Amino acid sequence: MNESGERDGVIDSRGRRCPLPVIDLARRCAEVEIGATVELWANDPAADADVPAWCRMRGQELVAVAPLPGGGSSYLVRRAR
């Protein structure tokens, strides 16, 4: 969330398979300011491992993971650098 408490971006990658959800996340994170958040929606089972691994490798903060109605997960990522 940004300073006003709003999410800065939502990426709907449902239906896209590995590695596309993480590529979508990386592209969007590069477009937002440091401290901003990006929310990724993905239903590819590989995203459960890929998103946290990408955050660790890239020095980004995985803020929250939550199930989405109808399947898949929401990954809230804060751009840390």
* Catalytic residue set: 18
CA–CA separation, 75 vs 42, rounded Å? Answer: 8
For 22, list phi and psi in degrees, rounded to 5. Answer: -70, -35
